[in-house]
Amino acid sequence: MEDPGNGGHAALVQLQAYLAQMDHAGETRLPAERELSESLGVSRGDLRKALAVLEKDGRIWRHVGRGTFVGSGPVEETIGISEIAGRTNPADVMRARLIIEPEIAREAALHATLSDIASMRQSLVQTREAVTWRQYENIDNLLHRQIAQASRNNVLLGLFDVLNAVRRTVVWGRLRSEGARPPADHHSFGDHERIVEAIAERDLGGAAAAMRLHLQQVERRLIPVREAAE
Amino acid sequence: MEDPGNGGHAALVQLQAYLAQMDHAGETRLPAERELSESLGVSRGDLRKALAVLEKDGRIWRHVGRGTFVGSGPVEETIGISEIAGRTNPADVMRARLIIEPEIAREAALHATLSDIASMRQSLVQTREAVTWRQYENIDNLLHRQIAQASRNNVLLGLFDVLNAVRRTVVWGRLRSEGARPPADHHSFGDHERIVEAIAERDLGGAAAAMRLHLQQVERRLIPVREAAE
DNA sequence: AATTTAACCAATTCGCATATGATTTCCCTT
DNA sequence: AAGGGAAATCATATGCGAATTGGTTAAATT
């Protein structure tokens, strides 16, 4: 019916024109294939061929149930926590913390407000007052997050949250077995205080170094054996 | 009705017993408050008091519409890209790249395999052969990701992917306006080569420094005005 | 007077209807 | 008989309303 013999080339031309017009209007999603084929006066088969060409060229992006979009596709939302945690191990998580968190601490030393520092110091006190291991862990988590928040950079804070969620996923089931032991060891207290102190004094390198040292201590404690021999 | 005067202590005891039994069974979610209060034979008010105690102690986790869970809460899957991108700006994204990516490059210099380096060098060549800006961007993205992959740490790679997705979300619509201009400038080519070279030579500090320099160049180009005066 | 009970609110999940791109089948034209 | 288009079908994703659930407030009961 539709001027056969052109091999669908007319459809491609019309589609490109439509796309340019739409691109100019700022729209990113184009109508459904059924509507568009009728609107452009071409068969759906030809339209799909033209769409396939544009997709292979990277100009559009299609997905079942969602629609067809211009550009490099709808942002890939599917980098979820479990996706990362599923193909890694505690050692890599610890290594990543050792790489990322000192730099975050350095940035915190540069941008922390007085309110941030006050909150951290309050957490320091609460850390010492914890009577349960779980309580201690919660406050420890909070303190580390407060440091990330003190960077005053929501991207860094978001990355920290992702890293933290991955960590809690990967090592899940390891801490639970230790039960309700109180935190009798005092090594982390000093570490935390040194970090906060360096941030308060705007000592960028000192904050990074203190955080690195602290995480190395934590890493050492994660190694199962040898603790007695030390 | 329920033996008044105990101040809800009986509810706490019963709840702890119930929690222990459930914990042993491996379940993580406990029934709704209305059911549980009837099941345990205590008023909802007393049950909520007991739940509040356990929550403050960190043993359970409650959330409206979801339910009550044992442990440190259901793994927070909802740190999605849009959640981060929604409350930030291009400057913070650039700053985060400037902080994170050099450290990733340093790690890559330490762990990259020969295969990794070969892939990167191939991307270098392809970068120079790109005839479209979109093509160039794609290969540039690929190269940066290859560097993250060369760290041989899936957590770092995942964090890079998140950061990259946030970047593409935040700056979306800015690059599109420049249309189909071919990449006539050559400054990034040298940057990229220096980074890959440093990684190949296992020069940790050099790789980080080269990456930092490269990103600073990119940041400079993102500033809208002043480009002609340079 | 105090606590239980019920009612209501806000946030979340669940199920079903709808929308969409992919695929197959059928039918008409030539 | 063959080719191509139109319709039917499938698999996946979204939207919306009902039901669920923790949090809060008011009424009722003892």
Answer whether residue B115 shows pLDDT above 50: yes
> Cβ separation of B100 and A96 shorter than 8 Å?
no
Using only the alpha carbons of chain A, give its radius of gyration: 27
Contact between residue B51 and residue B68 where contact means Cβ atoms under 8 Å apart: yes
Say which residue, A23 or A5, is predicted with more confidence: A23
Which residues of B are less than 8 Å from A79 in CB distance? 81, 158, 161-162, 165
Q: Determine the protein residue whose CA lies at the shortest distance from the C1' of C12.
A: B65
Query: For residue B139, which amino acid is it?
Result: I
Instruction: Provide long-range contacts, Cβ within 8 A and 24+ apart, for A217-224.
Output: A217/A187, A217/A188, A217/A191, A218/A94, A218/A188, A219/A94, A219/A98, A222/A90, A222/A94
pLDDT at B187: 81
Mean pLDDT of B1-29: 78
More confident residue, A188 or B227: A188
What integer pLDDT is reported at residue A111 of this predicted model? 97
Q: What is the mean pLDDT of residues B130-145?
A: 82
The beta strand positions in chain B, using DSSP E, are 29-30, 60-63, 67-70
pLDDT number for residue A229: 45
Distances, alpha carbon B127 to alpha carbons A11, A195, B140, B230, in Å: 33, 43, 7, 25
Q: What is the pLDDT of residues A120-178, one digit of tens each?
A: 999 999 888 877 777 788 789 889 999 999 999 999 998 998 898 888 877 654 554 45
* Protein-covered nucleotides on strand D (Cβ within 7 A): 4-7, 11-14, 20-24, 30
Query: What is the secondary structure of A146-215 as a DSSP string?
Result: HHHHHT--HHHHHHHHHHHHHHHHHTTTTSGGGTT------HHHHHHHHHHHHHHTT-HHHHHHHHHHHH
Single out the residue of B164, B209, B90, B97 nearest to residue A103, CA to CA: B97
Q: What per-residue confidence (pLDDT) applies to A20?
A: 85
Nearest to B154 among A81, A84, A135 (CB): A84
Distance CA B11, CA B45 (A): 10
At residue A183, the pLDDT reads 60
Cα–Cα dist A36/A42, whole Å: 9
Q: B45 or B128: whose pLDDT is higher? A: B45
B162 in contact with chain A, both atoms CB, cutoff 8 A = yes
Contacts A–B by Cβ distance under 8 A? 133
Specify which residue's alpha carbon is closest to the C1' of nucleotide D13.
A65
Cβ contact (<8 Å) for B155 and A93?
yes
Interface test with A, best of B155, B167, B176, B178 (most A CBs within 10 A): B155
- Would you call B176 an interface residue with chain A, using a CB distance cutoff of 8 Å? yes
Q: What pLDDT was estimated at residue A117?
A: 97
Chain A residue with the nearest C-alpha to that of B96: A156
H or E segment at A6? none
Q: Give pLDDT, residue B32.
A: 95
B79 pLDDT above the threshold of 70: no
Give the residue extent of every domain in chain B.
9-70, 81-222
Q: What is the pLDDT of residue A124?
A: 93
pLDDT over 90 (residue A215): yes
- Residue carrying structure tokens 């249309």: B179
CA neighbours closer than 13 Å in the CB half-sphere of residue B227: 10
B83: nearest CA partner in chain A? A158
**Does CATH place domain B9-70 in 1.10.10.10?**
yes
For the structural domain made of B81-222, what CATH number should be given?
Answer: 1.20.120.530
Q: Out of A84, A103, A132, name the one closest to residue B155 (CB).
A: A84
- What does the pLDDT look like over A49-85, one tens digit per residue? 999 988 877 788 899 999 999 876 555 555 667 677 7
> A78-82, A215-219, B65-69: which range is least confident on average?
A78-82
Higher pLDDT, B135 or B191: B191
Q: A111 vs chain B: nearest CA distance in angstroms?
A: 12
Give the number of C-alpha atoms closer than 13 A to the C-alpha of residue A57, restricted to the C-beta side. Answer: 13
Establish whether domains A9-70 and A81-222 are of one fold. Answer: no
DSSP alpha helix (H) spans, A63-153: 81-85, 90-111, 114-129, 133-150
Least confident of A167-176, B40-49, B186-195: A167-176
Instruction: Judge residue A154's burial from the number of C-beta atoms within 10 Å of its C-beta, 0-12 exposed, 13-18 middle, 19 or more buried.
Output: buried
Q: What is the pLDDT of residues B167-186, one digit of tens each?
A: 887 765 455 445 555 566 67
Secondary structure element (H or E) that encloses residue A70, with its range: strand A67-70
Query: Shortest CA–C1' contact from A30: which nucleotide?
Result: C20
For A124, other C-beta atoms within 10 Å of its C-beta total: 17
| Strand, coil or helix: B211 | helix
> B45-59, B139-153, B189-203: lowest mean pLDDT where?
B45-59
A50 CA, D17 C1': Å apart: 39
